[in-house]
Structure 1
Amino acid sequence: MKKIRLGTSDLHTGEISLGCMRMDKLSSQDAANVIENAVEHGVDLFDHADIYGGGKSEEVFANALKETSINREDIVLQTKCGIRGGFFDFSKQHILDSVDGSLQRLNTDYIDILLLHRPDALMEPEEVKEAFVKLKESGKVRHFGVSNQNPMQIELLKKYLQDDLIINQLQLSLMFTPMIDAGLNVNMQHDPAVVRDSSILDYSRLNEMTIQAWSPFQFGMFEGVFVGNDKFPELNAKLQELAEKKGVTDSAIAIAWILRHPANIQPVVGTMNMQRLSAIAKASDIELTREEWYELYRAAGNQLP
């Protein structure tokens, strides 16, 4: 699998990562098999959050990793904090407590990347700075990033932080493309022209932040999977056509569409099915042409101006 550099850091990982939200449903042995299979295919960044499975996903991962021959230093562990029951919390104490909890559940001395999960309207950037400095100086966290934040929120944080924010995790799929739509429909008066995210795609490229695409097979927000869904016949016909042409699965084509963008976007794939992940990993070897990329974009229901 091709490697990408994460933001301005010295971390280089496979260009596809594995989201571990559903790992709490697996036995330790099944999870170990999933981890080994991922690494064998070049997927070496594992994305967690303190809320996934109420913390159990991190525990299952740690127990499973002990049953493999994989060294901790050979993988990248990323986790997120800030979502609590009914509210968001970027306070210094919550960040520190959350990291300590994740370190314990993941059975590791350090987290490679910590992301702030969803924007906290009551965020005090001075507190975030204090938490990040303490975590960095103690060796508990090596790199930092955000999730679901717009450019001005990031700029506010950057005013106070000492370290670069290397990641922004954002929803993106063939059926969820607002960050792309607005850039194609400049100075137009229809809905796709509305800038909903303050040009986060261009901002990320200008500031060398890696976008991690979550829910790369979903349409809407958790409304369902579009691959193989009868609601989207034109898109699935095009996915299948290109899959047969390239000798891969339709899911691999959907990921290849994201990888084709020059922003070096890293999809976060959440499947716990080893065969499916093996098939998806082949997306790294696929090069869609410009024409094929736009054919898929139009087949998803988008019209070019």
Structure 2
Amino acid sequence: MRTIPLGTSKLEVPVIAIGCMRIGSLDKLQAERFVQTALEEGANFFDHADIYGKGSCEEVFAEAIQMSPSVRERILLQSKCGIRPGMFDFSKEHILHAVVGILKRLKTEYLDVLLLHRPDTLVEPEEVAEAFDLLESTGKVRHFGVSNQNPMQIQLLHKYVKQPIVANQLQLSIMNATMISQGFNVNMESNSAVNRDGSVLDFCRLHDITIQPWSPFQHGFFEGSFLGNEKFHELNKKVDEIAARYEVSNTTIAIAWLLRHPANMQPVIGTTNIDRMKDCVKAAHIRLTREEWYDIYRAAGNVLP
């Protein structure tokens, strides 16, 4: 599969990341087939979080891939921490404790990437810096990033954290593209002009932070897939038309739309359906034209100023 550097690091990653949030719903044989197919497709970057299945998803993955030193050399592992029941926690104590648990469940000695999950307003960035330094110096984590953070929150971390922030995992899809829409509507009176995220798209591009879109098929906040949804007739009509042109599925085109953006994004796909995973991977080899990208954007109900 086509690869890109993750942020400013020298780590080359596939342009499609395999999200493991739902792997716990598979039985042993299904999980084994799922991860092996991903590897066969060149999708060897697996995204986890300590809250997925309350940690059980990491355990299921480790068993499914039959983790061993030789297997570990072939894959890239990313996990996230910072969400606790009823709160967020970026304290040094919690980050270090969380990583110990993540490594144990994944049966590995290190993570390629650790992301801080959702923002913690009680964050003390000095503590985050201490935790990152310790994790890096002991070889437990090689690269660091964030999830769902705006530019000022990242800048606050940067005041103390010496490691580059290589990734920012953000919700983004054709039907959830406010970070793109606001850029079209600068100095306009429409709701689309409201800057809700501090221009995070431009910030990440300026600072070479890889955006990892999550829920690339969702509309709203986990309200379901827009593909094949009768509520979005015009969008599906256009996506299907372009899919037929490339002789691929609508799933492929939805991912190709994200990959067409010059920000060099790495979508995180959460499907456990093998055929759909293969359709997602095909997007790595398709480059939509400018006209096709804009046709899809407008078909989603977006109006250009």
Shorter-chain TM-score range: over 0.9
Q: Deviations over 1:179-204 (max 9, x none)?
A: 10010111101100111110100100
Name 1:301's counterpart in structure 2. Answer: 301
Name 2:254's counterpart in structure 1. Answer: 254
- Cα distance 1:131–1:168, how it changes in 2: closer, same or farther (>3 A)? same
Name 1:177's counterpart in structure 2. Answer: 177
Post-superposition offset of 1:292: 0.3
SS in 2 for 1:242: helix
The answer on whether the counterparts of 2:255 and 2:267 sit within 8 Å (CA) in structure 1 is yes
Name 1:198's counterpart in structure 2. Answer: 198
Name 1:224's counterpart in structure 2. Answer: 224
Comparing 61-70 with 277-286, greater Cα deviation is found at 61-70
Q: Deviations over 1:150-176 (max 9, x none)?
A: 000000001101110100000000000
Comparing 87-96 with 36-45, greater Cα deviation is found at 36-45
Task: Report the number of matched residues.
Answer: 305
Q: Deviations over 1:72-120 (max 9, x none)?
A: 1121100000011011000111000100000000000001100000000
State the distance in 1 between where 2:230 and 2:43 align: 30
State the distance in 1 between where 2:126 and 2:61 align: 33
The answer on whether the counterparts of 1:243 and 1:250 sit within 8 Å (CA) in structure 2 is yes
Percent pairwise identity: 59
The answer on whether the counterparts of 1:28 and 1:61 sit within 8 Å (CA) in structure 2 is no
Following superposition of structure 1 onto structure 2, how do residues 70-149 of structure 1 map, counting pairs within 5 Å?
Answer: 71-149=71-149
Comparing 139-148 with 21-30, greater Cα deviation is found at 21-30
Deviation above 3 Å: which 4+ runs of structure 1?
67-70
The answer on whether the counterparts of 2:67 and 2:107 sit within 8 Å (CA) in structure 1 is no
- Cα distance 1:173–1:70, how it changes in 2: closer, same or farther (>3 A)? farther
SS in 1 for 2:65: helix
SS in 1 for 2:174: coil
Gaps of 5+ in 2: none
State the distance in 2 between where 1:183 and 1:129 align: 32
Post-superposition offset of 1:29: 2.3
RMSD: 1.2
State the distance in 1 between where 2:51 and 2:29 align: 22
SS in 2 for 1:213: strand
Name 1:286's counterpart in structure 2. Answer: 286
SS in 1 for 2:80: strand
State the distance in 2 between where 1:68 and 1:230 align: 46
SS in 1 for 2:7: coil
TM-score norm. by structure 1 comes to 0.98
- Cα distance 1:190–1:70, how it changes in 2: closer, same or farther (>3 A)? farther
Gaps of 5+ in 1: none
